[in-house]
Amino acid sequence: MRWRITFLLLLVIGLTACDPLAEPDSMMDTYLERLARVLELEAELSEPLQIKTLPRPRDRRVEIEPLEINMLDFLSLYGCELQVVVGERNSIMGRVMTPLNQLRYQLRFINKARQCLPKVEKQALKAQLQQAIDHKQANLPAYFWNSVWADEPMASLMTQSKGLYQRHSDKNLLSSLSIDIDHAKTVLAQLQSGPMDSELKSMGEIQQRWVFSHTPGQLINSARLLITRLDDGTRLIEQRLGSEPLCYLNKPNTQSERVKGLFFNVYIGRVQPYLAEVSQAGEQLFGKLAALAGQQDKLMPETFRPFYRQVLNKKQPDNLWTMLDKSIERHTKSWQRLLSQCGMQPMAG
């Protein structure tokens, strides 16, 4: 029984390996080559569209002006837990905190400083302590920005080195990422409105998941591929439209039957479902990522904005997802014009 299961698995793997339409990149290349063949034209595979990558950490980071305060005065506040928090910050480990741990430190400092404030008798020290609280409270959104956008988990999430978004990808993973981004937006709103849990345990868990998920980067790669190959295909169809009609007096012929077969079997049957998957996943994730970054538009570093405009913010005309929508629309319309020469009017995809 076991050998039969093994044989069937190997058979499935073998059949998949032999199917040029199984993988997104080979599917799009094969689609273009077959389209050129049935149109009796030469296929030209363009290089994939170049797109902005996530900037390096220093170009994603918001610079926060340090507050010059006498730490020795704070460490002299015996009876207050603030001295423990400050001591941790000045330890060797404290000097190499991740951006998320820096945010946690700011929250702990604020919480402990507020508890300590009524116990301080020296007015000068009390004023200094209040100044530190106000400064750190005002900069919490900047620390949050750095903890999300300038840390390694976001780089892992957005890397374009992990291939393409696969067909029939795990929808649960997509949903989980979507929920995580929504939660990050909630944390930001809480930081902007008042006190909150200084441990930020949920954000730590979210970032752990981000480290091992590359879905957004894979979606970027797939969108680049689809835009390029759809535009290649549209140029082929437009080239054919510029010559003699596919069908004379709307009467089908042998060539038009081959074209129709390619349209239904490959474009409608295989390419279009993948287009829908990538478009829907991109809309779901990148719409939320754009909203998360857009909430802090005034803080956003100028060096981050080109990536934000081209990859995240769909309101921009040169945005990746806007370009994909336009490529799909152009390609669909070119097919409609071609098939209408043979009395067919396929529905828009």
Whether pLDDT at 348 is above 70: no
Of residues 67 and 3, more confidence is placed in 67
Q: Mean of the pLDDT values across residues 296-325?
A: 96
> In the numeric block, which tokens belong to residue 150?
């300038």
Whether pLDDT at 8 is above 50: no
Rounded Cα distance, 41 and 252, in Å: 19
| 29-50 pLDDT per residue, tens | 999 999 999 999 999 999 989 9
Q: Mean of the pLDDT values across residues 281-310?
A: 96
Sequence-distant (6+) residues with CB within 8 A of 170 are: none
Whether pLDDT at 199 is above 80: no
| 221-254 pLDDT per residue, tens | 999 999 999 999 999 999 999 998 999 888 889 9
Residue 95 is which amino acid? R
DSSP 252-286: --HHHHHHHHHIIIIIIIIIHHHHHHHHHHHHHHH
Question: What is residue 329's predicted lDDT score, i.e. its pLDDT?
Answer: 97
Rounded Cα distance, 107 and 79, in Å: 20
Sequence-distant (6+) residues with CB within 8 A of 203 are: 100, 147, 183, 184, 187
Q: Mean of the pLDDT values across residues 282-287?
A: 95
Whether pLDDT at 77 is above 80: no
Nearest CA-CA partner of 216 in 167, 301, 300, 281? 281
| 265-274 pLDDT per residue, tens | 999 999 999 9
Rounded Cα distance, 281 and 322, in Å: 14
Whether pLDDT at 349 is above 70: no
Confidence of residue 119 (pLDDT cuts 50, 70, 90): confident
Whether pLDDT at 278 is above 90: yes
Sequence-distant (6+) residues with CB within 8 A of 183 are: 202, 203, 206
Question: What is residue 142's predicted lDDT score, i.e. its pLDDT?
Answer: 96
Whether pLDDT at 275 is above 50: yes
Question: What is residue 347's predicted lDDT score, i.e. its pLDDT?
Answer: 55
CA-to-CA dists, residue 209 to 61, 88, 177, 214, 296, angstroms: 21, 27, 8, 10, 23
Tell me the pLDDT of the chain averaged across its residues.
Answer: 88
